[in-house]
Amino acid sequence: MLPHLRTDGTATRLVVDGEPFLILGGELGNSSMERAYLDPLWPGLEALGLNTLVAPVTWEAIEPVEGDFDWTMLDELVEDCTAHGMRLVLLWFGSWKNSMSCYGPGWVKTDTARFGRAHDEHGRAQEILSPFGKEARDADARAFAALMRRLRETDERHTVVMVQVENEIGMIPSARDHSPAAQAAFDDEVPAALVGHLTEHRDTIDAALRERWAAAGCRTQGTWTDVFGPGDATDELFMAWHFGRYVQAVTAAGKAELPLPMYTNAALIRPGHRPGQYPSAGPLPHLSDVWRAAAPDLDFLAPDIYFPDFVGWADAYVRAGNPLFVPEALRSTDASVNALYAFGAHRALGFSPFGIETIEGHAAALLRSSYDVLRRLTPLLLAHDETVGLLPPSDDQRVPHRVDIGDLVLHATYERIAAPSLADGVINEADDRAADRTRLPAGAIVVRTGPDELVVAGIGVTLTFTDPTTHATVGILACEEGTYDDGEWHRLRRLNGDQTHQGRHVRLEPGRFAIQRVRVYRY
């Protein structure tokens, strides 16, 4: 059975071999996917507990000569992933990769007459294929279709479970393409399909987009400036629509060969930056309505979360039923707890730090522990609807943080301790200074497995509970530390006394990941 997305109750799941599958992933660096280079790295990747590798396949590698395909790199990557028991999310580095068109084959790059470039406002050509170029779109779609056909013919075990179409599309340093074809489209009417979509979804579209449209008179006909008003925000909307239409053509061509789940990803906005200063017009939250209208064959839009506000960005991507998949995340110590948040708060399809083959030190050790916890909790996460993710809400970790789980309220505080020396577990003076810079993260995932039963897992989090419905005091009846094997609980020790502050709280110690099973009662 082909990997596909399925709605289970309130969650969207990736189904692999007929079973829901959570991606505990890692994305390879851009140039690390070739067999000879990757070969010695497999033991490290396996030791992290990854079940999925996220890796590029590039247009220049598969179609060095137009119409002449070379599948060596792809076939080897799929074979090696299969041999190492990992699934694969393939990234199609086609027309765009981080705004640029650097992965276009030489025959595309050198034929600028056939494959038109985006122009800046001074008329200078960029190394960015113009989304208004039909030749480029069709050539990309043909190559992508050939790739998906190759997978259909060779990947019998479905090692490849999803495909990302293009990578971090975005206009920079100009918010808009000023090539003649782009200018003509900008001066033309806004496509009826876009206005129709916005009209149909008027009540639920992004608030800023709705305001912009309303401020210009809620017109359903006219040029882009007539309908959305002048300015760089309109430039960005215009580009989002046209990038989206191009990606739709590529996606549709690929799905016609092999309909795996497909998505595209976004570079996020650096705080305070304007369109043109950040890679603009990509599948960003404020443009998601435009992207969904332009590219209906994409199954979802995904964020690459490198900025500190992980919660804010993850939350912004689950609007209107968009499932969360984080194909790229910073490979810091925080990745370990951000993963818990993604699966707990948003029942994510998956999580994947970038440059996974180079993760080391505390970040690697913590990710390994976090993925171990998530692997053990997977049957519970799939079986229960009530799950939450806990991350410190602000820099002030002493603020009690209130999170609802069904009719119970969790009150969380967080403890982040200095990281010990990895070498021998002893902190000497020099390590101590380094450790000041490395504080271990805090965060947890909580699953409500019954009316009075919770499974709590993570690091550096202390929890108390209240019941706002009955106002009864919620006490701890029993708390155990242990682990799960294939969904079965194995107790390590019963916790009470100092470990629960004499029955007052549940505490996941700072410095190490643990799983606890908690029964509460009311009095």
Residues of this chain that interact with ligand DGJ (CB under 6 A) are: 30, 98, 167-168, 304, 328, 354
Nearer to ligand DGJ, 98 or 277 (CB): 98
Q: What are the φ and ψ backbone dihedral angles of 59, each rounded to 5 degrees?
A: -60, -45
Nearer to ligand DGJ, 120 or 304 (CB): 304
CB of 356 to ligand DGJ, least distance (A): 12
CB of 304 to ligand DGJ, least distance (A): 5
Q: How far apart are CA 153 and CA 147, in angstroms?
A: 10
Specify which residues 450 forms β-bridges with.
Answer: 453
Nearer to ligand DGJ, 167 or 378 (CB): 167
CB of 97 to ligand DGJ, least distance (A): 7
Which helix (H) or strand (E) segment is 289 a member of?
helix 288-294
CB of 277 to ligand DGJ, least distance (A): 17
Report the DSSP pairing between strands 325-329 and 350-353.
parallel
CB of 445 to ligand DGJ, least distance (A): 26
Cite the beta strand spans of 287-375 per DSSP E. Answer: 300-305, 325-329, 350-353
Nearer to ligand DGJ, 167 or 234 (CB): 167
Using CA atoms, how far residue 466 sits from 60, 83, 238, 398, 411, in Å, is 58, 49, 49, 18, 8
CB of 125 to ligand DGJ, least distance (A): 23
Nearer to ligand DGJ, 30 or 179 (CB): 30
CB of 301 to ligand DGJ, least distance (A): 14
Residue nearest ligand DGJ by beta-carbon distance: 168
CB of 53 to ligand DGJ, least distance (A): 14
Nearer to ligand DGJ, 53 or 377 (CB): 53
Q: What are the φ and ψ backbone dihedral angles of 267, each rounded to 5 degrees?
A: -80, 135
Nearer to ligand DGJ, 91 or 520 (CB): 91
CB of 168 to ligand DGJ, least distance (A): 4
Nearer to ligand DGJ, 246 or 354 (CB): 354
Nearer to ligand DGJ, 41 or 252 (CB): 41
- Cα–chain-centroid distance for residue 264? 10
Q: How far apart are CA 54 and CA 26, in angstroms?
A: 6
Q: How far apart are CA 398 and CA 415, in angstroms?
A: 8
Q: How far apart are CA 314 and CA 134, in angstroms?
A: 34
- Residue pair 281/186 in contact (Cβ under 8 Å)? The answer is no
Strand order in the sheet with 4-8: 4-8, 11-16, 19-21
Nearer to ligand DGJ, 74 or 267 (CB): 267
Q: How far apart are CA 244 and CA 239, in angstroms?
A: 8
Say how many residues make up the chain: 523
Residue 501, phi-psi category: left (phi > 0), alpha (psi -120 to 50), beta (remainder): left
Which helix (H) or strand (E) segment is 37 a member of?
helix 35-38
Q: Is 379 exposed, middle or buried (0-12, 13-18, 19+ CB in 10 A)?
A: middle
SS3 343: helix
Neighbours of 102 (CB within 10 A): 15
Using CA atoms, how far residue 203 sits from 3, 112, 200, 211, 469, in Å, is 33, 43, 8, 11, 32
CB of 355 to ligand DGJ, least distance (A): 7
Cite the beta strand spans of 299-435 per DSSP E. Answer: 300-305, 325-329, 350-353, 387-390, 401-405, 408-414
Nearer to ligand DGJ, 168 or 177 (CB): 168
CB of 126 to ligand DGJ, least distance (A): 18
